[in-house]
Structure 1
Amino acid sequence: APAYYPALTGLRAVAAYLVFAHHFRPADSPGWYERLVGQLFVGVSLFFVLSGFVIATRYQHGVPLTRPWWRRYLWRRAARIYPAYFVLNGLSLAQQLLPILPGQWANKLLLIFISQSLLRGFSNTLLYVGLPQGWSLTVEECFYCSAPLLLLWQRRWRGAPLAFGLLALAIGLSLTALCTGRPALHGLFGSYSATLYYTFFGRALEFVAGIVLARWWATRAGTVRAASRVPWRTLAGAGLLLATVGLLVWVNSPIDFYQGPRYPAATALNNVLFPAGVVLLLAGLLAERSWLRTLLATRILQELGRSSYFFYLLHLGVLSVWWQATFGWGHYIGGQFLATLLLSWLGYRLLEEPARRWLLARSQPATSAT
């Protein structure tokens, strides 16, 4: 079985709650709070670095590039992210696209396909067809498909992860140069800022950061420092993360829903400096004993961490639309958070995890890829 790191599971819950705070704030929030939570989109970056670490930890010691292995690997990745997405995104699509009138069937069926297949994340005009946050799953999907090849390359050359991240960036910018300004493409690689913020090509370095961390951790053989040692990695990582958020608050870039942050400095802080802080923090949580590690490993945060993916999918969509229609924008945000928390825990227990187990039971043979 793959190694399990309780503190990292707890940290997933924190990442999801940062994104919630970014999207929902009380209507009477003071200006400083608005400016602060406006930068908490960084929670998505935390998810991406964690994904890079988890996948690399599981597979960096061997990737047999055989057709059965690929089939099992991709099936297991789909079983992890797709059941909850299919259901919640389907509800969101129904809310957005129904009723379908005569003459609309072809167009709306195409939108449903683009959304449910996760292809919509490549277009900055179709990003929000279905669950608005679903664009990040397109980024995850691209990483899942490329990670085995990257891990094989890393075994041959230590510089492969950084080269891969830069190559992905170059490909994304080249595709944008070819596609931008062409209305017939419906926003496919429609702008440089959207490519950098909303696509895997702009976000690959965050996954690379997690892969580099996994390689470092493998060389440590899982050793944890004694309790008397100062957890300097944890402190330095937390300090760098807070400093990055502080810089983002200072830059205060407007965020265009279809383009991402308008100021390049904000994109650089989010895509490069923040992941560096995440790597330092994760290294500390892995290798050092600290009160933060103990807190994140508590039973309640383990439960919340396991259901954090469902929370992330649920927090924007049918529930939030209903909540705002019923109570108004920015009202009873605490109640909305608690309702999302409870429903996501139930969704994890009753839908996400049972569906994942059911799908994995149909993966043959069931032992080669986890």
Structure 2
Amino acid sequence: MNNNNLFTKPHYPILDGLRGIAAIIVVTFHLSEPLSTGNLDNLVNHGYLAVDFFFLLSGFVIGYAYDDRWHKMTLGSFLKRRVERLHPLVILGMTLGAIGFYFTDSAIWPLIHTVPLWKLLLVMLIGYTILPVPLALDIRGWEEMHPLNSVGWSLFFEYIANILYATIVRKFSNKALAVFVFIAAVALAHFAITSPKGDVSGGWTLNAEHMRIGITRTIYPFFAGLLLSRVAKLTRIRNAFTWCSILVATVLYMPRIGGAEHLWLNGVYESVCIIFVFPLIVYLGASGIVSTKTERKLCKFLGDISYPLYLVHYPFVYFYVAWISNNKGVTILQAWPYALLILCGSIVLAYVALKWYDEPVRKWLRKKLG
């Protein structure tokens, strides 16, 4: 989900900015969820597709950064770089979730205060590894593989994609990779269109159904991004950040397609977005020209906070969900000031976490891991 270690290679600031835009929309999606009855009437209806966009961005950046360096890089050094980049904020997010666990008192989590401290610490320590916890350790009751920080599921699949890339897929020729990506696209479209829910939402529970969803959502976008990094002939496009930001927001804020009567239509919409629209956005963003200092600074700021924001916001969403569940009938007009406060507070915390924690820890890890 992040680009680093590119050394002398040209940077893609617009892709950084787009990652930040998508991260902010993810927060608004999570803040709108408790005010809806499900995916059919969520105000930020397709916000969960931001994860699929992240996977595609990640595959593009990984391919761009590492594809031509395997002659001087080992599997171990690659994995060390990914752990150094991804894991400090995983640990911070799980710690924040653990600290706030007993304070999210709500009728929807009646068993929280019966969870012994040893079990909370065990779940936190397992969370530090990003390995999923079994349902027997689901201390919150939402059947999440990371009950202290819900978004950890996507990092679990991110690591799987990175390992597949480093051990197998990086050796594929472009033709073999294209065939692999085509098969993954067919599997994704088939799942989305035939899904009982009419969407690709899922992947956060340690069971066969959600593992299938998570793998299906990860394989196509990540390796489509890798293929795009190999074959794309970039041009020079002006105002790309503006147009790409509008495209990302349009896709993620699009209301439900087809309603409850024609669920398959929404599956078609999501398939088209993931298979065609997201690669187009990444291509346009990689081709884009940053024309002003203000735009460059904005893209840098959005890129800097994107990953921290994604990892630190959900512990605060738990408090928000508890408040809404304890005050039945809360309207959007009543909730939006609190939602805005959480959004702004999460952005501030993300920046503080970046500067005071993530960057110093990563610098220390680089020295320790070599």
Distance 1:223 1:164, change over 3 A: closer
**Structure 1: distance between partners of 2:35 and 2:159:** 38
* Structure 2 counterparts to residues 165-176 of structure 1, below 5 A: 166=183
* Structure 2 counterparts to residues 76-91 of structure 1, below 5 A: 76-91=81-96
Distance apart, 1:149 and its partner CA? 3.6
- 1:74 alignment partner in structure 2: 79
* Structure 2 counterparts to residues 163-202 of structure 1, below 5 A: 163=180, 166=183, 188-191=206-209, 194-197=210-213, 199-202=214-217
Distance apart, 1:347 and its partner CA? 0.8
Distance apart, 1:19 and its partner CA? 0.6
Distance apart, 1:205 and its partner CA? 0.3
Distance 1:214 1:28, change over 3 A: closer
**Structure 2: distance between partners of 1:321 and 1:28:** 13
Distance apart, 1:4 and its partner CA? 1.3
1:118 equivalenced with 2:135 (yes/no): no
- 2:61 alignment partner in structure 1: 54
- 1:281 alignment partner in structure 2: 281
- 2:270 alignment partner in structure 1: 270
**Structure 2: distance between partners of 1:27 and 1:128:** 19
Match of 2:304 among 303, 306, 316: 306
- 1:210 alignment partner in structure 2: 225
- 1:320 alignment partner in structure 2: 317
Contact between 2:46 and 2:252, CA under 8 Å: does it hold in 1? no
**Structure 2: distance between partners of 1:297 and 1:216:** 28
Match of 2:352 among 343, 346, 357: 346
Contact between 1:9 and 1:302, CA under 8 Å: does it hold in 2? yes
Contact between 1:241 and 1:278, CA under 8 Å: does it hold in 2? no
Distance apart, 1:166 and its partner CA? 3.5
**Structure 1: distance between partners of 2:33 and 2:183:** 40
Paired positions, count: 322
Distance apart, 1:58 and its partner CA? 1.0
- 1:39 alignment partner in structure 2: 46
- 1:15 alignment partner in structure 2: 22
Contact between 2:21 and 2:245, CA under 8 Å: does it hold in 1? no
Q: Which amino acid aligns with 1:278?
A: F
Contact between 1:238 and 1:281, CA under 8 Å: does it hold in 2? no
Q: Which amino acid aligns with 1:276?
A: F
* Residues 75-114 of structure 1 deviation map (CA, whole Å, 9 limit, x = unaligned): 1101111111112212313443787877x84x55653444
Contact between 1:161 and 1:212, CA under 8 Å: does it hold in 2? yes
Distance 1:288 1:344, change over 3 A: closer
TM-score normalised according to structure 1 size: 0.71
TM-score normalised according to structure 2 size: 0.71
- Root mean square deviation of aligned Cα: 4.2
**Structure 2: distance between partners of 1:44 and 1:71:** 27
- 1:158 alignment partner in structure 2: 175
Contact between 2:41 and 2:256, CA under 8 Å: does it hold in 1? no
- 1:4 alignment partner in structure 2: 11
**Structure 2: distance between partners of 1:344 and 1:36:** 24
Q: Which amino acid aligns with 1:58?
A: A
Distance 1:4 1:321, change over 3 A: same
**Structure 2: distance between partners of 1:168 and 1:93:** 37
Distance apart, 1:245 and its partner CA? 5.9
**Structure 2: distance between partners of 1:128 and 1:140:** 14
Q: Which amino acid aligns with 1:80?
A: R
* Residues 10-35 of structure 1 deviation map (CA, whole Å, 9 limit, x = unaligned): 11110101111111139989x9x954
Distance 1:28 1:271, change over 3 A: closer
* Residues 116-159 of structure 1 deviation map (CA, whole Å, 9 limit, x = unaligned): 222218979342422011111011111111112455333x3523
Contact between 1:120 and 1:127, CA under 8 Å: does it hold in 2? yes
Q: Which amino acid aligns with 1:4?
A: H
**Structure 1: distance between partners of 2:14 and 2:152:** 26
**Structure 1: distance between partners of 2:268 and 2:132:** 24
* Residues 243-277 of structure 1 deviation map (CA, whole Å, 9 limit, x = unaligned): 6864x6223579xxxxxxx9565456435533421
- 1:362 alignment partner in structure 2: 368
